[in-house]
Amino acid sequence: MTPKRILLVEPFAPDLKALARTLHDEGYDVLLAEAGVGAVNAARRELPDLILLALNLPPDPGHAGGISWDGLVMVRWMQQLDELKTTPVVMLGEEDSAELRDKARAAGALGYFPKSREHQLLISIIGQILAAPVTNCAAA
């Protein structure tokens, strides 16, 4: 059985390494991408089964001198691309708030997960999403 592919877009190196290691240990094929256009291009090229996308991303210096990106802009953009519009996205952020969960869902993400929570809960949510895609991720 081919492992499911997860694209992880996270600019903060300690969070990136910890989450990538956890996902790999769970048997997922983990793809890493930098923010901005690089992440969208990686998603289009690799066609992951799921995208974990940080809410807060640095400006993209390679485009227009540093276009300001955030995960919400990226999700909306990916939703417009035929090859990515059905790829589930879970956003990752610093805060645990209903407002951010609502914004993530309104942008097109299945849910929002605070990075401060235990990774095992995120692994469980990922397993549910990949087993049977849903329109709303109530646990996230």
Question: What number is the average pLDDT over the span 50-79?
Answer: 79
| Contacting residues for 57 by C-beta, under 8 A, at least 6 apart | 9, 11, 35, 36, 69, 70, 71, 74
Is this structure's pTM higher than 0.85?
yes
**Domains of the chain (ranges, CATH numbers):** 5-131 (3.40.50.2300)
Query: Which tens digits make up the pLDDT trace of 10-61?
Result: 887 788 899 999 999 999 999 998 777 788 899 999 999 999 999 987 766 5
Q: Which of 4-18, 54-68, 72-86 has the lowest average pLDDT?
A: 54-68
- Neighbouring C-alpha atoms within 13 Å toward the C-beta of 16: 15
If we measure between CA atoms, which residue out of 22, 28, 25, 26 comes closest to residue 7?
Answer: 28
d(CA 95, CA 115): 8
Diameter of the chain by CA atoms?
43
CA 129 to chain centre: 13
Specify the higher pLDDT residue, 23 or 137: 23
Q: How does the average pLDDT of the chain come out, rounded? A: 86
Q: Is the pLDDT score of 87 beyond 80? A: yes
- Neighbouring C-alpha atoms within 13 Å toward the C-beta of 113: 26
What local confidence, expressed as pLDDT, does residue 64 receive?
53
